[in-house]
Amino acid sequence: MTETVAATGLSAGTALSRPKVRRARIRGKWPVLVLFLPPALLLFTVFVILPMGEAAWYSFYNWNGYGLPTEWIGWKNYELIFRQGAFRNALVNNGLIILVSICIQVPLALWLATMVTKHIKGATFFRLIFFLPYVLADVAAGMIWRFVYDGEFGLVANIYHTFGLDAPFWLADKNAAFSAVLGVIVWKYFGFHMMLFIAGLQAIDKSVLEAADIDGATGWQKFRRVTLPLLGSTVRLSVFFAVVGSLQLFDMIMPLTGGGPSNSTQTLVTFLYSFGVMRMQVGFGSAVGVVLFVICVTLAFSYKRIFMKND
Partner 1 sequence: MTDTAINPIDAAKAQTPGRSLRFGTKAYLYTCLIIVAALVVIPLVTTALGGFKTLGDLRGNAFGLPSTWMVSNYSDILFSQRYWLQMGNSLLIAGLTVFLTLAFAAMAAFTFAHVKFFGSQFLLNYFLIGLMFPAATAILPLFIRIRDLGLLDTYWGVVLPQVAFGLGMSILLFRNYFRSLPTELFDAAFVDGAGYLRFFWHISLPLSRPIIATVGIISFVGSWNSYILPLIMLNSESKYPWPLGIMVYRGEFSTDWQLILAFITLTILPTVIVFFAAQKHIIAGLTAGAVK
Residues in 210-269 at the binding interface with partner 1, rule: CB under 8 A = 237, 241, 247-248, 250-251, 254-255, 269
Cβ proximity to partner 1, 156 vs 177, nearer residue: 156
Return the ∠ at Cα 136 (arms to 134 and 137), rounded to 5°. Answer: 110
For the bound state, the minimum distance from the C-beta of residue 88 to partner 1, rounded and expressed in Å, comes to 19
From 74-82, 120-128, 168-176, 220-228, span contacting partner 1 (CB under 8 A): 120-128
In sequence order, what are the beta bridge partners of 72?
A: 61
* Interior angle at CA 179, CA 174 and CA 184, nearest 5: 125
**Least Å from the CB of residue 246 to partner 1:** 11
Query: Which C-beta is closer to partner 1: that of 40 or that of 74?
Result: 40
Q: In terms of Cα–Cα distance, which of 283, 301, 241 is closest to 76?
A: 283
By beta-carbon proximity to partner 1, the closer residue of 135 and 165 is 135
The only residue of 60, 106, 127, 177 in contact with partner 1, by rule CB under 8 A: 127
Closest distance of CB 123 from partner 1, Å: 7
CB contact burial 177-213 (16+ within 10 A = b; e otherwise): bbebbbbbbbbbbbbbbbbbbbebbeeeeeeebeebe
SS3 151: coil
Nearer of residues 173 and 303 to partner 1, judged by Cβ:
303
Mask 134-163, x = binds partner 1 (CB under 8 A)? Answer: xxxxxxx--xxx-xx-x-xxxx-xx--x--
d(CA 285, CA 281) in angstroms, rounded, equals: 6
Q: Which one, 36 or 175, has the nearer CB to partner 1?
A: 36
Cα 165–chain centre separation: 38
Shortest distance (Å) from residue 138 CB to partner 1: 7
What does the alpha-carbon distance between residue 229 and residue 211 come to, in Å, rounded to a whole number? 16
Q: Does 7 interact with partner 1 (rule: CB under 8 A)?
A: yes
In 3-state terms, what secondary structure has residue 72? strand
Q: How far apart are the first and last CA of the chain?
A: 40
Can you tell me which of 5, 16, 214, 306 binds partner 1, judged by CB under 8 A? 5
Instruction: Quote the least distance from Cβ 134 to partner 1, whole Å.
Output: 7
Cα separation, 88 vs 308, in Å, equals 29
Query: Near partner 1 by CB under 8 A, which window of 76-84, 89-97, 132-140, 168-176?
Result: 132-140
9-28 residues near partner 1, rule: CB under 8 A:
9, 11-12, 18, 21-22, 25-28
